[in-house]
Structure 1
Amino acid sequence: MVDLGLTHIALPVADIERSIAFYRAYAAMEVIHHRVDQATGVKVVWLSDHTRPFAIVLIEQAEVQPLLTPLAHLGVGCKSREAVDTLCNLARQEGCLLQDPQDSGYPVGYWAFLRDPDGHTLELSYGQEVGLTVESS
């Protein structure tokens, strides 16, 4: 068996533990693989939320230029508007809320942007039907 289709996105990060904590808190992701590359000494971690065969690969680098900045972003569907609000309140307290939640109607739904520790953008949403559209197409 081999992987087919879109399997991951790789992001450079300055502090891999700080990034793991961010994606654990805001995207319900956990480490599924970790290693130190033998040739370079670089720390590499794969994260998954176990909802589909897709991972975020974090690669620790001394210098990071944010790659995913609005509008380029990772999108995470939440189970309710309240879940989005709860996470946004936490993000506001932690200083990483980039854009307050707003309701853009169908098909965009209720969404907000957060900034991860390296400046990459994470969208939290409720009411988008990306996964449902893929399944029904």
Structure 2
Amino acid sequence: MAHIHYPRLTHLALHVRDLDACLRFYHDFCGMKETHRRQSGPQTIVWLAEPGRERDFVFVLMNGGEDLHLGERDYRHFGFALQSRAAVDALAERAGQAGCLLWPPRNEPFPVGYYCGVKDPNGNQVEFSFGQPLGPAAGPSPAQTQSQSQ
């Protein structure tokens, strides 16, 4: 039987107005590190990755974009997992002090968990969560739990 190879998500590209402010945000709030930078005429292109995931998934930030203005009910966002509820609280506190907290920590039923929202300098919404079945602090998936109990 032949193996089916599906596409794999490797990067997300953002065209931003203030490249330096966005680089600082994703470094300071998300722990992302610059892994690549190049110039193409007036365009600066920077790759950011979480430590240890440099070959797995990157944000590509490019200068020359416009600020994003999302509607009040537009919930599109990037999601980052944190290791605890206390880490969500601490990040929300820092974001509040920095003036970029969108919504304070709240708890929702599984699979949403405990989370807060922050706005990056370009207007993108970023969620920081604990308790979702995603990320390094996630427990086994419901399918794994079910197969282990059989």
State the TM bucket, normalised to the shorter chain: 0.7 to 0.9
Q: What is the letter of the counterpart of residue 113 of structure 1?
A: G
Amino acid at match of 1:19: C
| One-letter amino acid of the structure 2 residue matched with residue 80 of structure 1 | S
Residue 12 of structure 1 and its aligned partner are, at CA, apart by 1.4
**What SS does structure 2 have at the residue aligned with 1:103?**
strand
Q: Paired residues, what number?
A: 130
1:12-59 per-position Cα deviation (integer Å, ceiling 9, x unaligned): 11111111110111111010111111xx32111111013541111101
What RMSD over aligned residues (CA atoms) do the two structures have, in Å?
2.2
Structure 2 length-normalised TM: 0.78
Amino acid at match of 2:120: D
Residue of 104, 108, 112 corresponding to 1:108: 112
**Which structure's CA Rg is the greater one?**
2
CA contact (8 A) 2:45 2:63 kept: yes
**Partners of 1:79 and 1:51 in 2: how far apart?**
16
- AA partner of residue 41 (structure 1): P
Residue of structure 1 in register with 2:14 after alignment: 11
Q: Which residue of 1 aligns with 2:27?
A: 24
Quote the Cα distance in structure 2 between the aligned partners of 1:99 and 1:81: 15
Gaps of 5+ in 2: 1-6, 145-150
Letter in 1 for 2:85: R
- Confirm or deny: 8 A CA contact 2:15 2:65 kept in the other structure: no
- Report what 2:93 is aligned to: 89
Structure 1 residues 115 and 29 mapped into 2: Cα distance closer, same or farther (>3 Å)? same
Q: Percent identity?
A: 37
TM-score, length basis structure 1: 0.85
Runs (5+) with no aligned partner, structure 1: none
Looking at structure 2, the residues matched to 107 and 26 of structure 1 have their Cα atoms a distance apart, in angstroms, of 23
User: Counterpart of 1:65 in structure 2: which amino acid?
Assistant: L
CA distance in structure 2 between the aligned counterparts of 1:128 and 1:26, rounded to whole angstroms: 19
Matched, 1:58 2:61: yes
Distance 1:92 1:57, change over 3 A: same
Aligned to 1:49: 50
CA offset at residue 106 of structure 1?
A: 1.3
Are the structure 2 counterparts of residues 6 and 66 from structure 1 closer, same or farther at C-alpha, using a change threshold of 3 Å?
Answer: farther
